[in-house]
Amino acid sequence: MNQAYFDAVIRRYQKMEELDPGWNRNSLKHLNWVLRLYGGNADFKVQAGCLSRRDWKSLSNYYYQCTRYNLFPTLMHFDYTVVQFWDALTAIALGDHDSFEHIFPKDEPLEKLIKDSKGAHPLVREGRILLVGLWYQNKQILEYTIPKAQMYLARKYPKPDLALVAYMLALHEHDVARAGECLETACQITRSAEWEPEEKKPWIYGHGLYRLAARVLPEDEFNRLPMPNYKTFCKEYAQWCNSHHEPLQLYAPFPEPVAFLNDMFTANYRSYPWIGLDEVPCHLIPPEWGELLYL
């Protein structure tokens, strides 16, 4: 999202025009090489600036752009089972239902959720299926996942990890007091060295958990849910999200000549006509495209 990222994308785009003139702008095999930059387009200085100005709309648009980058078909993380759980919580925090339902489609079979969760971090393995069950209030999924989540709570895992799962169980049981206690503890997961300092200001996933309650609980119960007092939860931002539901936008739209990417990043994922995801096996990609990585 910083200028250096945009400059690199433009250089790659211009080089792709030389390598393959007339390429289809919807072709994922081409866009993969134009867009892929290690580290993505996140810019924590933007995040810090939005916080210091209390510019909550821009902060939401920043997170929206980062999430849409993560979800772009050619840019999905190699360990996407883990990433999609956190991206789904970000989408909930922002009110971005389209992204959530792209990550976890409503009609996705339980068997696929189980299969995709195998081998994941224990918190993600239990959390992602429980999250889907709560979001859609899917009886079949909930009947499967709730006993699993209760078993998870009986094991020796970090306290904040346990609290995150316990929070979702408390929402299912409409135990508002218990949910508030668990959410406070879950926000302390950021004490772990796994989290970068910039990811804690605020911890957007805690905001996603909080907004999940607005989906699961009746309005009067949600209004009684206390906000966490922990330092990684921004109450002012949460209050703004509770009352503002205008459409999200890219914080920093792509400039010309790659402005066509803006429509792709903001498209409804269930309807966009992606082309070329599997049309060329990776080992048959022209070797000269490799030089794009160094532009």
- Domains of the chain by residue range: 1-76+249-295, 79-243
Q: What is the pLDDT of residue 278?
A: 44
Q: What is the pLDDT of residue 276?
A: 43
Terminal CA-CA length for the chain? 17
pTM above 0.85, yes or no: yes
CA-based Rg of the chain, rounded to a whole angstrom?
20
Residues of the chain with pLDDT under 70: 1, 36-42, 73-82, 190-200, 269-295
Q: What is the pLDDT of residue 288?
A: 56
Q: What is the pLDDT of residue 1?
A: 63
The CA distance from 9 to 281, in Å, is 23
Which structure tokens are listed for 166?
A: 């316990």
Side-chain half-sphere CA neighbours of 280 within 13 A: 14
Q: What does the mean pLDDT of the chain come to? A: 84
